[in-house]
């Protein structure tokens, strides 16, 4: 027999978490929340200390590094910063991803120590981590004030830190507390296949963008190396430029993803897309060396990549359901899921860049999402519709097949026939009974007449006992031969009848 994997509900009935008092549970949650804040802040401070120690003319001090790490910690939570020259809204995505990994690991460790296994038990871990980061971010933004060199809005810092850390904490406890199973149990299998295919499509489009970006860097490698040389050639300056490029590398990949899909991106007046190209000055950043210098007839060929991704999604969903309409619904779910993913990525990758000629850095999130849905839905729907199995055609026959008719109909018909036969028999019996009654009524006068005739015969003197006629008392057995008296008897009977 195949071994069945127990469901989450069965596991929750058999597994019992370790016993913790309310105070012990609160202490574990508090230590987890504080530890995630301290560890993330220490990581930012260590990175800043490395850059300061290698810079040529930078003054290194522990207090200065800790104070300067506060804006960096807010940037890691994707909180925009304001300064006199404008606002820094194009924030690097790599520090945000690393911070979310730390918070996710902290939440998973707390769930393991407390023995959490139910979805509702994850609330304490998520709320404690999100609250700690939100309060810390709000306090930092408030202490920075409105007159400092770098400023942040306290409300934005509060909710921004809570959102980033809360999402990371949910991701950390999702598998341990059964959140993934609860969500997928409420979704039908067709939509579940569509969500998996949508995640695959988003990954494939992102991989296409990363490969295109890497190809651009390789082709323009002389320009990239010259931009590094223009920074001064010192170790500290080169390390700082390299770390900045590494931090903004996910942003560049998202821009390349938008370019592959066809939406493109813009830096100030510069617009780059497969179909539209507007040149102009760009920042002297090595990452931007991958940008095309002019429009080329070969650039629109990159649109083959999202079309191929849609075909791949269609082949992946060709067996998701038995009917073409159900498979088409799975493709639509995949297209919407991939579109929502690209929408979120484009929204967090762009933003304002001070007040200079390179402001703003725009990745059209709405256009990117719409194009993604179209690239996945159209070719994927066609492939899934024709490549998958089809239901067998029903052949019409002149006579209905006995197996297709329900057995209840036959039973009902048999019951009807039995009822009709029973009624006919009952009517025949009633008719016979009525005929017998009529026959008895007609025979009653005949019976009366017969009885009267018998009475008259008994009263006839010719029928008297022979012993009474013979005074001598002779034996009736000694009578004469009946043959001798026969003529007389016949005459007597004739006279009587007359």
Rounded mean pLDDT of 253-275? Answer: 91
Same-domain pairing of 129 and 203? no
Same-domain pairing of 339 and 383? yes
Give the pLDDT confidence score for residue 238 in this predicted structure. Answer: 75
Weakest mean pLDDT among 129-143, 255-269, 340-354, 484-498: 484-498
Quote the mean pLDDT of the chain.
Answer: 78
Rounded mean pLDDT of 58-78? Answer: 83
- 338 vs 391, more confident: 338
Residue 447 included in any domain: no
Rounded mean pLDDT of 476-488? Answer: 45
Same-domain pairing of 23 and 125? yes
Q: Which phi and psi (to 5°) does residue 188 adopt?
A: -70, 160
What are the residues facing 351 on neighbouring strands? Answer: 361
Which percentage of the chain shows pLDDT scores above 90? 36
Task: Give per-residue pLDDT as tens, 410-454.
Answer: 444 444 444 455 556 666 666 666 665 554 544 444 444 444 544
What separation in angstroms does the CA of 188 have from each of 154, 179, 180, 183, 311?
43, 16, 14, 10, 23
Rounded mean pLDDT of 21-37? Answer: 88
Same-domain pairing of 111 and 248? no
Q: How far apart are CA 298 and CA 281, in angstroms?
A: 23
- 228 vs 392, more confident: 228
Give the pLDDT confidence score for residue 201 in this predicted structure. Answer: 95
Residue 384 makes CB contacts below 8 A (sequence gap 6+) with 313, 314, 315, 317, 318, 320, 324, 327, 328, 330, 331
Burial 103-127 (b: 16+ CB within 10 A, else e): bbebbbbbbebbebbebebbebbbe
Weakest mean pLDDT among 234-248, 355-369, 391-405, 456-470: 456-470
Name which of 96, 101, 65, 254 is nearest 161 in CA terms: 96
Rounded mean pLDDT of 308-320? Answer: 92
Rounded mean pLDDT of 372-399? Answer: 80
Same-domain pairing of 223 and 133? no
Same-domain pairing of 148 and 229? no
Write down which residue in 154, 186, 218 finishes a domain.
186
Write down which residue in 391, 410, 435 finishes a domain.
391
pTM over 0.75: no
Residue written as tokens 């709405």?
366
What separation in angstroms does the CA of 166 have from each of 29, 97, 250, 370, 418?
14, 13, 21, 28, 74
Give the pLDDT confidence score for residue 379 in this predicted structure. Answer: 94
Residue 205 has pLDDT above 80, yes or no: yes
In the chain, how many domains are there?
Answer: 2
Rounded mean pLDDT of 143-151? Answer: 84
Residue 92 included in any domain: yes
Same-domain pairing of 151 and 256? no
Most confidently predicted of 175-189, 243-257, 285-299, 436-450: 243-257
DSSP three-state, residue 353? strand
Weakest mean pLDDT among 62-76, 132-146, 249-263, 304-318: 62-76
Residue 341 has pLDDT above 90, yes or no: yes
Which residues form the domain of 57?
17-186
Residue 220 has pLDDT above 70, yes or no: yes
Same-domain pairing of 213 and 149? no
Give the pLDDT confidence score for residue 145 in this predicted structure. Answer: 81
Give the pLDDT confidence score for residue 232 in this predicted structure. Answer: 58
Give the pLDDT confidence score for residue 481 in this predicted structure. Answer: 47
Residue 460 has pLDDT above 80, yes or no: no
Same-domain pairing of 273 and 133? no
For residues 171 and 104, the answer to whether their CB atoms sit within 8 Å is: yes
- 279 vs 170, more confident: 170
Residue 133 makes CB contacts below 8 A (sequence gap 6+) with 33, 36, 37, 77, 103, 161, 162, 164, 165
Residue 459 has pLDDT above 70, yes or no: no
Weakest mean pLDDT among 117-121, 352-356, 394-398, 439-443: 439-443
- 408 vs 78, more confident: 78
What separation in angstroms does the CA of 90 have from each of 83, 157, 181, 225, 358?
14, 16, 36, 24, 11
Residue 286 has pLDDT above 80, yes or no: yes
Q: With bands split at pLDDT 50, 70 and 90, how would you rate the model's confidence at 185? A: confident
Most confidently predicted of 41-55, 245-259, 276-290, 436-450: 245-259
What single DSSP character describes residue 362?
Answer: E
Residue 6 included in any domain: no
Give the pLDDT confidence score for residue 478 in this predicted structure. Answer: 44
What are the residues facing 265 on neighbouring strands? Answer: 272
Q: Which phi and psi (to 5°) does residue 480 adopt?
A: -70, 170
- 381 vs 5, more confident: 381
Same-domain pairing of 63 and 84? yes
Same-domain pairing of 145 and 29? yes
Q: With bands split at pLDDT 50, 70 and 90, how would you rate the model's confidence at 119? A: confident
What separation in angstroms does the CA of 11 have from each of 24, 102, 220, 272, 356?
25, 28, 56, 54, 59
Write down which residue in 349, 370, 391 finishes a domain.
391
Same-domain pairing of 249 and 152? no
What single DSSP character describes residue 118?
Answer: S
Give the pLDDT confidence score for residue 33 in this predicted structure. Answer: 92
């Amino acid at each position: 027999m195949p071994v069945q994997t127990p469901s989450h509900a069965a596991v929750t009935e058999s597994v019992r978490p370790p016993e913790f008092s309310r105070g012990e549970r609160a202490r574990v949650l508090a230590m987890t929340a504080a530890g995630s804040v301290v560890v993330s802040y220490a990581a930012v401070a260590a990175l800043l200390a490395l850059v300061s120690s290698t810079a040529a003319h930078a003054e290194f001090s522990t207090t200065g590094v800790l104070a300067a790490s506060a804006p960096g910690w807010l940037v890691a939570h994707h909180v925009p910063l304001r300064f006199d020259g404008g606002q820094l809204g194009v924030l690097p995505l790599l520090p945000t991803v690393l911070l979310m990994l730390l918070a996710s690991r902290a939440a998973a460790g707390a769930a393991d120590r407390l023995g959490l296994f139910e979805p509702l038990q994850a609330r304490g871990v998520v709320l404690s981590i999100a609250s700690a980061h939100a309060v810390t971010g709000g306090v930092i933004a408030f202490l920075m004030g409105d007159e400092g060199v770098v400023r942040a809005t306290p409300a934005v810092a509060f909710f921004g830190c809570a959102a980033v850390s809360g999402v990371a904490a949910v991701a950390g406890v999702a598998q341990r507390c059964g959140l993934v199973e609860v969500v997928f149990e409420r979704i039908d299998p067709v939509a579940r296949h569509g969500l998996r295919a949508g995640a695959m499509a988003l990954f494939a489009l992102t991989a296409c963008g990363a490969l295109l970006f890497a190809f651009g860097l390789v082709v323009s490698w002389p320009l990239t190396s010259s931009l590094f040389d223009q920074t001064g050639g010192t170790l500290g300056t080169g390390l700082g430029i390299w770390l900045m490029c590494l931090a903004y590398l996910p942003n560049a990949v998202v821009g390349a993803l938008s370019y592959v899909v066809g939406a493109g991106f813009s830096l100030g007046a510069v617009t780059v897309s497969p179909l539209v190209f507007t040149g102009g000055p760009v920042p002297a950043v090595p990452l931007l060396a991958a940008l095309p210098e002019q429009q080329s007839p070969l650039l629109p060929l990159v649109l083959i990549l999202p079309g191929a991704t849609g075909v791949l999604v269609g082949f992946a969903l060709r067996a998701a359901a038995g009917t073409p309409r159900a498979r088409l619904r799975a493709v639509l779910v995949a297209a919407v899921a991939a579109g929502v993913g690209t929408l979120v990525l484009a929204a967090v990758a762009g933003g304002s860049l001070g007040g200079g000629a390179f402001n703003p850095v725009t990745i059209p999130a709405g256009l990117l999402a719409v194009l993604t849905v179209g690239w996945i839905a159209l070719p994927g729907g066609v492939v899934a519709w024709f490549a998958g199995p089809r239901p067998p055609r029903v052949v019409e026959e002149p006579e209905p097949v006995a197996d297709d008719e329900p057995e209840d109909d036959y039973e009902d018909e048999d019951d009807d026939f039995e009822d009709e036969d029973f009624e006919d028999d009952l009517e025949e019996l009633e008719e016979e009974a009525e005929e017998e009654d009529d026959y008895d009524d007609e025979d009653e006068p005949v019976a009366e007449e017969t009885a009267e005739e018998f009475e008259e015969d008994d009263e006839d003197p010719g029928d008297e006992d022979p012993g009474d006629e013979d005074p001598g008392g002779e034996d009736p057995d000694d009578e004469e031969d009946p043959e001798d008296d026969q003529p007389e008897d016949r005459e007597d009977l004739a006279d009587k009848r007359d």
